[in-house]
Amino acid sequence: MKLSLHRRLTVGAASFLMGVSISSGAHAMCVADSEVFGGSAITFGENVEIGVAPPQPANYWFDLDVDAFVQIKASHNAADPYLRLMNEDGAIIAANDDYDGLNAQIDTSEALEAGRYCLEVDDVNGGTDTISVTAVLIDETQVEMQAINMGKAFPLSRTGETVTDAGVLRTKFTSNFYLVDEANWVVFDVEEPSLFDIRARSYEGVDTVLRVLDSEGRILEENDDYGDSENSRVIIELQPGTYAASATTYDDSEVFGETQLFIERFIRATE
């Protein structure tokens, strides 16, 4: 899910109930007190081990007493979890596969209204697995900061410990840093339509992932393992505006080291 978050909300208390079953088909309606969804209740924020058995996804539901932002994670060390969030009528609100490696995650970019919601959990590979699922209520600021740290949302500031301001980029710019498990950024301005060659490279075995975002937080391009290397490269034409390039490590990689974000601008030849 790509995030473009600007509003702020402090989430109040909410109740969370989750019932477990295997649905009779995708997008089943979420009916209050229905025997189909059971009556099991868990402590909000508790990790739940969910058994999935194809071809039907596993169905869950939860109630919100107040409007709230929700984050849902599904993980497994080998399966490919898939999440689908729906309202009480079965309309899809959000879905995700491969948010972090093969694991799935949904961050609601707008507060969900008080009411009942359904969640489908499945394995894209069609396996019979036990998938770990966690749902929590969060402040929108937390969602945004997590996305920024993963290189998936535009930085809140042009300068900081992990953000470098390149200003108007007319020729080329280089930023060197020690890349760990938090994204490093270069924010830059474009004054006229231009072609950019952007690279995240390391000579210390870091498996980099490169993303290019516009000022609205949209991911325009991303790359991992350009060519035969573990470095990353994006060649993109950008219009006037403000952009950001992020460098992160791939998934749960524990290889960290000196890394470089390199940006070069090219102007199309005039006739």
Q: pLDDT tens digits for the chain (271 residues)? A: 332 222 222 233 333 344 433 333 444 455 544 454 443 444 568 888 888 877 778 888 888 888 988 999 999 988 999 999 988 888 899 999 988 888 999 988 788 999 888 888 899 988 888 999 998 888 878 878 888 888 989 998 888 889 999 999 999 999 999 998 889 999 999 999 999 999 999 988 888 999 999 999 999 999 988 888 889 999 999 999 999 999 998 866 678 889 999 999 998 766 5
Residue 261 forms beta bridges with which residues? 175, 200
Taking the C-alpha atoms of residue 130 and residue 50, their distance in angstroms, rounded to an integer, is 5
Taking the C-alpha atoms of residue 181 and residue 31, their distance in angstroms, rounded to an integer, is 42
pLDDT for 213 equals 96
pLDDT for 49 equals 86
Taking the C-alpha atoms of residue 103 and residue 78, their distance in angstroms, rounded to an integer, is 9
Q: What is the DSSP letter of 151?
A: T
Q: What is the DSSP letter of 266?
A: E
Q: What is the DSSP string of 38-71?
A: ------TT--EEEEEBTTBPEEEEEEESS-BEEE
Helix (H) or strand (E) holding 248: strand 241-249
Q: Which two tokens stand for residue 179?
A: 């890349």
Q: Which two tokens stand for residue 74?
A: 């599904």
What 3-state DSSP class applies to 249? strand
Beta-strand pair 172-179/257-266: antiparallel
Q: Are 186 and 173 in contact (CB under 8 A)?
A: yes
Beta-strand pair 92-97/104-107: unpaired
Q: Are 68 and 113 in contact (CB under 8 A)?
A: no
pLDDT for 44 equals 65
The Cα angle at residue 143 between residues 141 and 149, in degrees rounded to 5: 100
Q: What are the strands of the beta sheet with 104-107, ordered from one edge?
A: 48-52, 129-138, 69-75, 104-107
Taking the C-alpha atoms of residue 60 and residue 173, their distance in angstroms, rounded to an integer, is 49
Q: Are 209 and 249 in contact (CB under 8 A)?
A: yes
Q: Which two tokens stand for residue 57?
A: 């996804």
pLDDT for 40 equals 45
Q: Which two tokens stand for residue 271?
A: 């006739």
